[in-house]
Structure 1
Amino acid sequence: MIKAAKVTTLASSIVLLGLSVSSITASAAELSGDITFASDYAFRGISQTEEAPALQGGLSLTDESGFYVSVWGSNVDFLAEGTLELDVMLGWSGAINDDWSTDVGIMRYGYPNTATPGSNFWEVYGSLSYKDLTFGLAYSDDYYLNSGDFFYLYANYSYALMENLSLDLHVGQNEYDDSSASYLDWSVGVSTEVMGAGLSLAYVDTDVDGSYLADSRVVFSISKSF
């Protein structure tokens, strides 16, 4: 039953991807991208690079209705178990009115050179934003390493300290099927733009004990969109 459900989910996602790509190519579309250098790749508070730097980049094809297809990649370091993450997203984002907006979609996390069973997984996501405040939820029915149901509930807030400097706040709850593995992550940072490049500096932490990958750290990143 579980395998059948996953096959059905995968097939439905592929069909939706095909329909959305057809819709995008049939109407006005815009290609955009970004490249980022980060001192650490901290995903939901946990380092994916053994606390080493990461080079990341993504491309998005978006049509005028708000549908998009995106790919995103980064180096990772899972010791002998993989050095590359490559994700694919299909979604829709748009404004509800002048103050409210939303973003919903499905995402596949892929680790193409990792042989460990359960490394690749699917996640559905959605967020609702009011001005600079965002609430979001992501769900996977079989999270990383076949860990079962997983929910990620988070909130982000960006406060303009001055014209070109923002205070960025984040908190997220990682809720596993096995509640003993659940944990909280949070970050406090500042971001700005200099000569067209985005700069950010953030303090990242979790309430996980006994893992250096989840310890507090300061992460610096520089990014460029095109």
Structure 2
Amino acid sequence: MKTATKMTTLATSMMLLGLSAGSFSASAVELSGDITFTSDYAFRGISQTEEAPAIQGGLSLASESGFYVSVWGSNVDFLAEGTLELDVMLGWSGAINDDWSTDVGIMRYGYPNAEIEGSNFWEIYGSLSYKDLTFGLAYSDDYYANSGKFYYIYADYSYALTENFSLDLHVGQNEYDDSSASYLDWSVGISTEVLGAGLSLAYVDTDMNGSYLADRRVIFSISKSF
């Protein structure tokens, strides 16, 4: 990133950190986490593991006021250019009223052992939810591998088929500075819970041509929260 961009990002991070720290000190905090096994780690429609399985896990420290700090990690496979993803999030989420809620924050995507220039990058994100429908936007001023400005606009919807099964729909537009690289991703899945574990089966696809990592696939995941 350019120096000015780095300074802006740092200032934003420090501001959010200050708000978060003040919130944590003024109210009770709760630690939560999750662990997931997935048959393929697809991020915005593209496999991050060469279509191989992944083990993922995260921890989150949240205050009663809605501020949170989270870390999340997964194995990745970028053709020997990196084997670990480690992300950090700082944000706020909360209910606006009985039907509406929101989530906003800043996130750093990190690849500690990657040799690709510009592999680590920042994103600002926000979403607005009405019941089971969510609209979201993420923005990076210098996306992965120094690819410039990037926007991700998406919508998610979860529909209860029965008491135990949900139909999960997703569509997202990946918009790059270079419009020829932009693409659409989507998924259709079914999820449920068995013995306290979350199970999901999803069909994932994109409109990208020429990359087997973005081809259609079916992904199975099992997760456990604690």
TM-score normalised over the length of structure 1: 0.97
Q: Deviations over 1:166-222 (max 9, x none)?
A: 000000000000000000000000000000000000000000011000000000000
* Cα distance in structure 2, aligned partners of 1:17 and 1:51: 36
Q: 1:129 — aligned with what?
A: 129
Q: How far did residue 23 of structure 1 move?
A: 2.7
Residue type matched to 2:178 in 1?
Answer: D
Identity of counterpart residues, as a percentage? 85
Contact map agreement 1:103 1:127 (CA 8 A) in 2: yes
Q: Deviations over 1:67-117 (max 9, x none)?
A: 000000000000121000000000000001110000000000000111221
* Cα distance in structure 2, aligned partners of 1:70 and 1:18: 16
Residue type matched to 2:105 in 1?
Answer: G
Q: 1:4 — aligned with what?
A: 4
Residues paired across the two proteins, number: 226
Residue type matched to 1:122 in 2?
Answer: W
Q: 2:120 — aligned with what?
A: 120
- Name structure 1 gaps, 5 residues minimum: none
- Name structure 2 gaps, 5 residues minimum: none
Q: How far did residue 2 of structure 1 move?
A: 3.1
SS at match of 2:7: helix
* Cα distance in structure 2, aligned partners of 1:163 and 1:157: 16
Q: How far did residue 223 of structure 1 move?
A: 0.2
Return closer, same or farther for 1:58/1:25 CA change in 2, 3 Å cut-off: farther
1:34 and 2:34 aligned: yes
* Cα distance in structure 1, aligned partners of 2:8 and 2:137: 22
1:125-164 aligned within 5 A: 125-164=125-164
Contact map agreement 2:138 2:151 (CA 8 A) in 1: yes
Q: Which runs of structure 1 show a deviation greater than 4 angstroms over 4 or more consecutive aligned residues?
A: none
CA RMSD of aligned residues (A): 1.2
* Cα distance in structure 1, aligned partners of 2:164 and 2:26: 38
Contact map agreement 2:23 2:65 (CA 8 A) in 1: no
Contact map agreement 2:58 2:72 (CA 8 A) in 1: yes
* Cα distance in structure 2, aligned partners of 1:86 and 1:69: 14
Q: 1:43 — aligned with what?
A: 43
Q: How far did residue 4 of structure 1 move?
A: 1.9
